């Protein structure tokens, strides 16, 4: 009986480039899992976790069936089509700076995509987009049993065709390579697996270099401006959707040291009762009497969208 499974990641290449070079303590590939983030969160809870699951441990899955993004949104990946990868880190930096680690992982991916002529950029707080379409999402979590650790997961659309994208506002590496005038590999082929393998190595090598810089200085300060310069959200007119159905509009003008996005708020959405609608409610956008500068943390934002289009 022939093997109909998609070609898999090149384990030997991962070990040679990422582990034997000393960049990572271990890189483990699994055929299928619910969530690579959950796998490492559970691993960090084991009694001997520091020995079995040291700093700079990576798990990557050929297939992820129960991954989650922000606001518990589902993020799954068919076998052999994406990169579903999580890192277990124990960064020796102040706790107040640890949210920048998530952005560092995103910056590393942006750089390797740009090296392939894909015009990627960070969308605050944790997505990588290409001209408004999402190509990757990043999610971090702190293991309850090991608050000094940080698990950062990233799902990257690599070999997904138009028919298999998770949303109409998504894209993939092969689609963007084609738009850049390159001949992308076909999904399910050895060439497709090679693209996934080399992209994973390039990304994790770039991430390791940024993490080493942070570790050497005991601070994100040496790379903070590099991160901010990669965030395309800054300078955009945005709509910030907040809990309870409220929202604001204005220009995103910066990222604060605590990771919050600062917006010059010009309009605010309020819900008002509409007697003509049988006691229902309507949304009403109200101009602010004066421009208000407000900051929003990632955990308090339901959606962040550019004004004039979905993202």
The domain spanning residue 295 has which CATH number? 2.30.30.100
Residues 70 and 19 in one domain: yes
Does residue 2 form part of some domain?
A: no
SS3 132: coil
Among candidate residues 188, 213, 230, the one where a domain is terminated: 230
| Distance set, CA 112 to CA 28, 45, 157, 179, 248 (Å) | 22, 33, 14, 17, 34
Q: What's the CA gap between 154 and 140, in Å, rounded? A: 9
Residues 73 and 39 in one domain: yes
User: What residues make up the domain containing 193?
Assistant: 11-230
pTM attached to this predicted model: 0.89
Q: What's the CA gap between 278 and 246, in Å, rounded? A: 21
SS3 248: strand
The residue written with tokens 């589902």 in the block is 74
Residues 269 and 130 in one domain: no
Helix H segments across the chain? 11-14, 36-44, 49-52, 99-115, 173-179, 190-217, 221-230
Residues 190 and 123 in one domain: yes
Does residue 21 form part of some domain?
A: yes
Among candidate residues 194, 215, 230, the one where a domain is terminated: 230
Q: Is the separation of the CB atoms in 201 and 160 below 8 Å?
A: no
Residues 178 and 50 in one domain: yes
Residues 71 and 154 in one domain: yes
The residue written with tokens 């979590």 in the block is 141
Per-residue pLDDT tens digits of the chain, which is 311 residues long: 334 467 899 999 999 999 999 999 999 999 999 999 999 999 999 999 999 999 999 999 999 986 554 444 555 567 889 999 999 999 999 988 999 999 999 999 999 999 999 999 999 999 999 999 999 999 999 999 999 999 999 999 999 999 989 888 999 999 999 999 999 998 889 999 999 999 999 999 999 999 999 999 999 999 999 999 999 999 999 999 999 888 999 999 999 998 899 999 999 987 655 555 444 445 688 998 888 999 999 889 999 998 865 44
Residues 156 and 49 in one domain: yes
Residues 206 and 252 in one domain: no
């Amino acid at each position: 009986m022939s093997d109909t499974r998609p070609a898999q990641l090149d384990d030997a290449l991962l070990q040679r480039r990422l582990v034997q070079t000393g960049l990572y303590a271990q890189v483990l590939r699994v055929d299928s899992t619910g969530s690579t983030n959950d796998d490492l969160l559970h691993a960090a809870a084991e009694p001997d976790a520091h020995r079995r699951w040291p700093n700079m441990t990576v798990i990557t899955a050929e297939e992820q069936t129960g991954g989650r993004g922000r606001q518990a949104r589902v993020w799954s990946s068919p076998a052999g089509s994406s990169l579903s990868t999580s890192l277990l880190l124990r960064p020796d930096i102040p706790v107040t700076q640890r949210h920048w680690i998530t952005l560092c992982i995103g910056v590393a991916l942006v750089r390797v995509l740009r090296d392939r002529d894909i015009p990627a950029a960070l969308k605050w707080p944790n997505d990588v987009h290409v001209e408004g379409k999402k190509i990757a999402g990043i999610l971090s979590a702190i293991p309850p049993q090991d608050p000094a650790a940080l698990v950062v997961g990233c799902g990257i659309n690599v070999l997904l065709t138009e028919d298999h994208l998770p949303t109409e506002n998504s894209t993939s590496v092969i689609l963007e390579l084609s738009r850049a005038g390159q001949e992308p590999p076909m999904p399910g082929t050895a060439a497709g697996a090679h693209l996934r393998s080399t992209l994973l190595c390039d990304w994790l090598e770039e991430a390791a270099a940024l993490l080493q810089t942070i570790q050497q200085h005991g601070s994100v300060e040496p790379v903070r401006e590099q991160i901010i310069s990669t965030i395309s959200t800054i300078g955009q007119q945005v709509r910030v959707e907040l809990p309870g159905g409220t929202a604001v509009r204005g220009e995103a003008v910066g990222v604060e040291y605590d990771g919050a996005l600062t917006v010059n708020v010009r309009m605010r959405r309020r819900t008002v009762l509409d007697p003509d609608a049988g006691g229902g409610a309507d949304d009403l956008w109200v101009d602010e009497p004066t421009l208000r500068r407000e900051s929003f943390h990632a955990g308090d934002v339901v959606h962040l969208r550019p004004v004039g289009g979905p993202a």
